[in-house]
Amino acid sequence: MKKLAAGNWKMNGTQASLAEVTALLEAHPDPACEMLLCPPATLIAAMAALARGTALMVGAQDCHPKPMGAHTGDISAAMLRDAGATHVIVGHSERRIDHGETSALVKAKAEAVVDAGLTAIVCIGETEAERDSGKTLAVIGTQLDASIPGGATAANLVVAYEPVWAIGTGRTPTLTEIAEVHSFLRGRLRGLIGAEAEGVRILYGGSVKPTNASDIFAVPHVDGALVGGASLKAADFGAIVAALSAA
Ligand code: PEP
């Protein structure tokens, strides 16, 4: 299995930000891991043009569950593919919380991604209150069961474990806590999709930085990272790519 360093630019970036992509590709033209950036939808086509013929893949941060129709402001998975995306993040906690997205909707979006021939990055994660009350595994197990697409395979599904309280806070779970969750998720995936589970990348996300990346990547069943803030700067994301390549 090739590991995956995925960056989520969230609602950040304009055409000028593409200079970071040029710098990233200059510094890391041929990493040993897969490298993906998910810019805002407005930058997908331009970033994909820049990435053509390079090791960089380009993804999106969300999609509509339907392939087309009267859905003002929304974008379908097929449209994202047409713009050059190969992956789509679905169920990020900022969408689950800010937009009230349920696991049922996340699953419908993930299935739309797969139907469009793309790879779904399905995000799950507990809140701080859920962790403090000992419910982490129950919460993420339920989210996983209800969010992954039917017909999931190692090729069309990536799972991102992102504790809500670790996103953008500079706080992370301990390495033991990350190990517990990732091993639990591998087992849960085996129950859901059988042998395909061995090849599904399970990413850790939440305050991954150049300074903690190597330690996190040494944890069993951590197959890469979903990186927010640190993916905006080529130097930081490149250092994370290098750490994953060396893991
Ligand atoms: C994220 O939002 O997916 C994320 C992991 O953010 P950050 O790396 O900034 O914590």
Alpha carbon nearest to ligand 1 atom 7, residue: 228
Is residue 229 lining ligand 1, measured as CB closer than 6 Å? yes
pLDDT digits (tens, 9 = 90+) for 22-38: 999 999 999 999 999 99
Please report which residue ranges of the chain form alpha helices under DSSP H.
Answer: 18-27, 41-51, 77-83, 93-98, 103-115, 128-132, 136-147, 175-193, 213-217, 234-246
Tell me how crowded residue 38 is: count the other CB atoms within 10 A of its CB: 27
CA 85 to chain centre: 13
Mutate to test the pocket of ligand 1, among 123, 124, 167 (most ligand atoms within 8 A of CB): 167
CA distances in angstroms from 221 to 2, 196, 217, listed in the order given: 12, 14, 9
Ligand 1: atom nearest CA of 208 is: 8
Name the closest-CA residue to atom 3, ligand 1: 228
- Report the distance separating Cα 91 and Cα 97, nearest Å: 9
Selected from 3.20.20.70, 3.40.50.12660, 3.40.640.10, 3.10.20.30, the CATH number assigned to the domain covering 59-222 reads 3.20.20.70
**Whether residue 170 has its Cβ less than 6 Å from ligand 1:** no
Q: How far is the CA of 83 from the centre of ligand 1 (A)?
A: 24
Q: Tens of pLDDT along the chain (247 residues)?
A: 999 999 999 999 999 999 999 999 999 999 999 999 999 999 999 999 999 999 999 999 999 999 999 999 999 999 999 999 999 999 999 999 999 999 999 999 999 999 999 999 999 999 999 999 999 999 999 999 999 999 999 999 999 999 999 999 999 999 999 999 999 999 999 999 999 999 999 999 999 999 999 999 999 999 999 999 999 999 999 999 999 999 9
State the catalytic residues.
92, 162
Q: Render pLDDT for 111-120 as a digit per residue (tens, 0 to 9).
A: 999 999 999 9
Give the domain ranges of the chain.
59-222
Residue 215: CB atoms within 10 Å = 13
